[in-house]
Every structure is written in C-alpha cells, then in structure tokens.
Amino acid sequence: MSGVFAVVAVAAGAYAISGLSGQNRLPENPLIGAAYAQDAEVDTSTITEMVQGAEDAPVTLIEYASYTCPHCANFHTGPYKKLKEEYIDTGKVKFIYREVYFDRYGLWASMIARCAGPEKFFGMTDLIFKEQSDWARAGGATEIVDALRKIGRLAGLENDQLEACLQDGTKAQTLVTWYQENAEEHDVTATPSFVLNGKKIENQSYESFKALIDAELDG
C-alpha cells in the first residue's frame, strides 16, 4: 500500500462514529502540517510502541483501535479494565496498543494522546475514550480539534506543547505510514482488532478473552 492517501481504503465500511465515516482521504490541514508526499520515504522506527505489562510476559496481546470507534471505547471502559487488572498488571500479558487512522479526527486524537509521552499515554487514551461521545460529535473539524485540545489541557499539557504536537506534519505522516505497515502485516480492516501471540482474533466478551488467554498460558 503506497502513500498516505491509501489509509482510508483499508477503512471502507469499518466502524466509525456517525458523521466521520465519509472521509475519502486525510485532508490537507494546517493542524497536521504541509501536504503529504505520496512517495516520500518514511522512517517508522521513530514511532514509540505503547506498551503495558511485563516485557517478558508469556502472552502478548496487540490491540488495533481507532479513537473514533465506539466499539473501541466500549472495550476500554469494560473488558480492557478487567484484562489489565487480572493479566497485564500481574505480569501474564504484555499489552501493545496500536492506533488505527480511519479519519483525520482519530489521527489528531492520537497525536494529542502521544504528546505527553509514553508515561501518560494510557491515561490520555482512557480520557479520550471516556469523552468520545462529546468530542467526536462537537461539530466540524474546528470544534472537534478544540474539544481534543481541552482534553489535552485536562491532562496537564500546555497550549504551546499541544500546538507543537498537532502541527507536526512529519510525525503525522510517520504515524499514518506506521499504521499502514501494521495494518498490512496483521490484515486489520476493522476496529477493534486483536492479535494474541501472533494470531488475529476478533473483539469479544471479557470471558471469551479470558478463555483464549488462559489457553495460551496453559499451553
């Protein structure tokens, strides 16, 4: 898949909040810097993986999620909290969170979540999902990004820091290319999607997740 404009081709028909699913491409916008070059070489090794749990945990669970996906918000306010308590915090599961960009709003949310660094990323992610129904329906692009700025300020980010993150076009392009590489590797076509010890699994109830993880631990 070549170029940043291929990002939404993967997303056709995927879960998105009403009003956001009609994006055909990431629009050129000053909030994410200059227009992207389709054939530019992008070094995705600069992107930090967001990880919770023990590095040597016997089970690795990767989540692919979009900040504008209501099913992802439901997962993070429900099953994820139980998984974290029982498996991630106890050293049984290494949890990797990877963003999916089906629209520019999800990309902006990701740039704000990453703005304060890895130590605050998961707290920011929890807040963004908790407030999803408010910021994602705030209105047009200007209103939505303003609502995301407010979330960033609630998390302690200064205005100058927020603007620097939102206007970092190189970071935005790198994030989207990174997402494309991951989506191709694991055939991600909808969110949330999960990869458990290298095997792709669908979103499901906590009890089903628990059974699958326990089988890996027992195996």
pLDDT tens digits in sequence order for the chain, 219 residues long? 333 333 333 333 333 333 333 322 333 443 343 334 444 678 899 999 999 999 999 999 999 999 999 999 999 999 999 999 999 999 999 999 999 998 889 999 999 999 989 999 999 999 999 999 999 999 988 899 999 999 999 999 999 999 889 988 889 989 999 999 999 999 998 999 999 999 999 898 999 999 999 999 997
User: Taking the domains of the chain in order of start, what are their residue ranges?
Assistant: 4-22+40-207
Amino acid identity for residue 192 in this structure: P
User: CB 142: neighbour CB atoms within 10 A?
Assistant: 10
The pair of three-digit structure tokens given for residue 180, joined into one six-digit string: 């494309």
pLDDT at 141: 87
pLDDT at 107: 93
Q: 201 φ, ψ to 5°?
A: -130, 160
* E strands in the chain: 50-52, 59-65, 93-99, 193-196, 199-202
The gap from C-alpha 95 to its chain's centroid, in whole angstroms, comes to 13
Name the 3-class secondary structure at 165.
helix
Query: 4, exposed or middle or buried, with CB in 10 Å at 0-12, 13-18, 19+?
Result: buried
pLDDT at 169: 86
4-22+40-207 carries CATH number 3.30.70.2740: no
pLDDT at 7: 38
Q: What is the pLDDT of residues 170-219, one digit of tens each?
A: 899 899 999 999 999 999 989 999 999 999 998 989 999 999 999 999 97
Let me know: does 214 contact 64? Beta carbons within 8 Å. no
The gap from C-alpha 112 to its chain's centroid, in whole angstroms, comes to 11
DSSP assigned state of 138 = S
